[in-house]
Amino acid sequence: MKLTVLSGGVGGARFTRGLLAHLATTDPGSPVTVIANTGDDMWLHGVRVCPDLDTLMYTLGGAVHEEQGWGRRDESSRVSADLAAYDVGWDWFTLGDLDLATHLARTQWLREGLSLSRTTERLAARWRLADQGVRLLPMSDQPVETHVEVDDGLIHFEEWWVRHRAALPARRFVQVGLDTAEAAPGVLDAIRDADVVLLPPSNPVVSVGTILAVPGIRAALRETAAPVVGVSPIIGGAPVRGMAAECLATLGVDATAEAVARHYGLRATGGVLDGWLVDTADKDAADRLAADGWRARATDTLMHDVPATARIAAEVLGLAGR
């Protein structure tokens, strides 16, 4: 069974880890392609930082800081602390020492002329993702950076997200570079050739939304013979994690499981989804979606731990008929 996942950072990484645990018992050896959002990427202090790719690598590679959900376990911040003494700005964004090793290796290879795809493949080799059947792809090899229009103008998404904790009213999100971006090699084929395409409970605006905005990806999702199913990142009217409500508000979308599903849209009517797994708290939403032709179901969607997440993955694959 060939699976393709469109993923942001923490939520997508945890979901994919659960999916792998589920497949290990039911379909061992199933190839899983993870297409990661790279809209949060940036050049910081001269190195290339790719938050979602790294969260996926560390989580699937067993090196993630478990409580935090991102970054490396046993991390320290000796470099960042010293760097602050040079007054370089962005001192609210700490680059961990171990995490910096990843950025340095990536920057070296990018500067040597390798694509982000090839660079990601080399980084992932250390974390043995291929041994788990996982191929990690950036959504695009071209830089796409999400900026946020606030009262004072455009700021980088990470400044809005990390520094301001999404508290500055956002008028709109601007994906700088998107016009000339292409899907990375393998991305469109992974969607077209999949048996199931999965949307994990990632941020529907700045994670999955950015992936969907890459030219060709939305069309590939409409064309694929595979069912496209997702897990709601909203439970009972609030995001499980992160500041998705603020992002959705910018688009005029309510922070509810149903509104997010309708924002993605049903494939039969021009959207990208066939099925939507919601939490038991949102059973009514599942019923209304089902009445409108969705494959919808309610279950406990809190990813407490890997076994719980494996069960959620099984449920959403069930929506896809697998």
Q: What is the 3-state secondary structure (H, E, C) of the chain?
A: CCEEEEECCHHHHHHHHHHHHHHHHHCCCCCEEEEECCCCCEEECCEEECHHHHHHHHHHCCCECCCCCCCECCCCCHHHHHHHHHCCCCCCCCCCHHHHHHHHHHHHHHHCCCCHHHHHHHHHHHCCCHHHCEEEEECECCCCEEEEEECCEEEEHHHHHHHCCCCCCCCEEEEECHHHCCECCCHHHHHHCCCEEEECCCCCCCCHHHHHHCCCHHHHHHHCCCCEEEECCEECCEECCCCHHHHHHHCCCCCCHHHHHHHHCEHHHCCCECEEEEEHHHHHHHHHHHHCCCEEEEECCCCCCHHHHHHHHHHHHHHCCC
The least CB distance from residue 103 to a copy of itself, in Å, is 8
Q: Are strands 238-239 and 234-235 parallel, antiparallel or unpaired?
A: antiparallel
Q: Is 105 in the site for a copy of itself (CB under 8 A)?
A: yes
Q: Is 122 in the site for a copy of itself (CB under 8 A)?
A: yes
Query: Of the candidates 28, 67, 82, 151, which one interacts with a copy of itself according to CB under 8 A?
Result: 82
Query: Of the candidates 46, 185, 265, 321, which one interacts with a copy of itself according to CB under 8 A?
Result: 46
Q: Between 44 and 290, whose beta carbon lies closer to a copy of itself?
A: 44
The least CB distance from residue 128 to a copy of itself, in Å, is 12
Query: Of the candidates 43, 150, 280, 318, which one interacts with a copy of itself according to CB under 8 A?
Result: 43
Torsion region of 266: left, alpha or beta (phi above 0 gives left; psi -120 to 50 gives alpha): beta
Q: Is 114 in the site for a copy of itself (CB under 8 A)?
A: no
Contact characters 47-76, a copy of itself, x per CB under 8 A: xx---------------------------x
Q: Say how many residues touch a copy of itself, by CB under 8 A.
A: 33
Stretch of residues binding a copy of itself (CB under 8 A), selected from 29-37, 99-107, 279-287, 310-318: 99-107
Query: Of the candidates 1, 21, 24, 110, which one interacts with a copy of itself according to CB under 8 A?
Result: 110
The least CB distance from residue 119 to a copy of itself, in Å, is 10
Stretch of residues binding a copy of itself (CB under 8 A), selected from 39-47, 150-158, 250-258, 303-311: 39-47
Q: With b meaning 16 or more CB within 10 Å and e meaning fewer, what string describes 68-82?
A: ebbbbeebebeebee
Q: Between 96 and 242, whose beta carbon lies closer to a copy of itself?
A: 96
Q: Between 82 and 152, whose beta carbon lies closer to a copy of itself?
A: 82
Contact between residue 184 and residue 37 where contact means Cβ atoms under 8 Å apart: no
The least CB distance from residue 285 to a copy of itself, in Å, is 44
The least CB distance from residue 75 to a copy of itself, in Å, is 10
Contact characters 218-257, a copy of itself, x per CB under 8 A: ----------------------------------------
List residues near a copy of itself by CB under 8 A.
43-48, 76, 78-80, 82-83, 85-88, 97-98, 100-102, 104-111, 122-123, 125-126
